[in-house]
A and B are shown apart, each in its own frame.
Chain A
Amino acid sequence: GQQLNQSPQSMFIQEGEDVSMNCTSSSIFNTWLWYKQDPGEGPVLLIALYKAGELTSNGRLTAQFGITRKDSFLNISASIPSDVGIYFCAGRREGSTLGRLYFGRGTQLTVWP
């Protein structure tokens, strides 16, 4: 089946530090998405990427769609305590009809004040 490897699994950082996490897939994706999940909530979309090489920012978040179309990364700059949560990458394969998403296992981010 489709493999989507997300790393790291968890991160413990000091407030103000930058964070980087990434995802790689075993097949080509035509869309990469990054979601954040807070406790007791569903995933909330942070950034969507649609073209290889695309670099997109949303405030302190920056994500890139890898040139090979098999990877993506998410950077968070100058982290703050409210960045705490689980970050998921998700991708959509070529030829997907209604946009079935494949998810990574998530990166649990903890930010110390």
Chain B
Amino acid sequence: EPEVTQTPSHQVTQMGQEVILRCVPISNHLYFYWYRQILGQKVEFLVSFYNNEISEKSEIFDDQFSVERPDGSNFTLKIRSTKLEDSAMYFCASSEFAGLAKNIQYFGAGTRLSVL
């Protein structure tokens, strides 16, 4: 069964460093998302992306964050200068359709980011 894959599974970085989290969405999907989950808290929306543009972003997604679809298969989340509070599990999701009844978002297993 097709799945969303994320790499790495765990990323450890020093505060202030840049990190890039990578995702390979399901191949025929056109709509892409990043969410994050701080330990013990709820899953929070970061950004949605379609047709090489950000469609919507949350208040969490500030200037330190950026997303890119550098080629036909990868979807990346970059954090320019990591802060301690960026430590979280980051989930990528993708969907084939955008319409109300068909926007089923499939999630990857996540990347655990630890900022020291």
Contact = CB atoms under 8 A, between A and B. Distances in A.
Q: Do A and B bind each other?
A: yes
Interface of A: 1, 4, 30-31, 35, 40-45, 48, 50, 88, 90, 92, 96-106
20 contacts: A31-B100, A31-B103, A42-B4, A42-B91, A42-B93, A42-B107, A42-B108, A42-B109, A45-B105, A45-B106, A88-B42, A98-B33, A98-B98, A99-B98, A100-B45, A100-B58, A101-B45, A104-B42, A105-B42, A106-B42
Nearest to B41: A105
A102 B104 CA distance: 14
Interface string B41-59: 1111100101000011011
B110 interface: yes
B101 interface: yes
Nearest to A96: B56
B75 interface: no
Contacts of B93: 42
Majority-rule SS of A interface residues: loop
Contact of A43 (B45, B56, B91): B91
Contact of A97 (B35, B42, B48, B109): B48
B48 A99 contact: yes
A42 B34 CA distance: 12
Can you list the 6 inter-chain pairs with the closest CB atoms, starting with the nearest? A42-B107, A99-B103, A103-B43, A98-B48, A105-B42, A98-B55
